[in-house]
Amino acid sequence: MDSREAQKQIEQMKDFILAEAKDKATDIQKKGEEEFSIEVYRLINEQKEKVRATYERKTKQVETQYAIAKSMAINKQRLEKIKARQEVMHRVSDDAKLQLVKELQRPDVSKKFVTQLLLQGMLMLLENEVTVRCRQVDVGLVSSCLRDASDHYTKLIKSETGATKACTLSIDTASFLPPAPVAGKDGPSCLGGVVLFCAGGKISVDNTIDMRLNLVMEQAKPAIRGLLFPQ
């Protein structure tokens, strides 16, 4: 083999090696690009998931905070509504007290009223002897009602049962009910009325104006609310 053929073979081998190297480089480049694209896609998806998770978490936080704030606002509004209604009910009660006290300033009305309170208490106790406690300022008024109350009691028992039963009433002069309320002054108070005792003070019936008014207000609350706060 002469030098020219040898040189030709060398050139052919060189071209073959270069072609192989080029093909190999192309394959490596393609594989690198594919791996790069896969990695970029993975990273993008990973970041998307992180962003979505962060968004969902923050959305839930906002929704929770909104729900809490809404609940608090509703509760606050409900409490304010309840408070406002209670204030109105208190004003109704106070107005009723003023009107009742004003009405009871008439001697004929007050005497009849106290007599009825005594009679109701006697009918609840059904005792032969009953002690009556009142405000010190009402001793004269209550004393003037004892006879009528006892007579009515005896007549009512006779008409309803046929039995003859009397009850002796006496004023408790050792202890009195609290005085009338005074604006700006704290402490026990009483609008009037009586408390009846028997069995040595072990049994009692509270027939004070305060107690009767509280009972009436409690019983009438649904009707009053219906009138004042219609749905």
Q: How many CA atoms lie within 13 A of 177 on its CB side?
A: 26
Residue 62 to residue 20: CA distance in whole angstroms: 62
Point out the residues of the chain with pLDDT beneath 70: 1-2, 231
pLDDT attached to residue 75 = 92
Q: How many CB atoms lie within 10 A of CB 181?
A: 16
pLDDT attached to residue 2 = 64
User: Six-digit token pair at 26?
Assistant: 């192309």
Closest CA to 126 of 159, 153, 149: 153
Task: Find the angle CA(74)-CA(78)-CA(76) to the nearest 5 degrees.
Answer: 55
pLDDT attached to residue 11 = 75
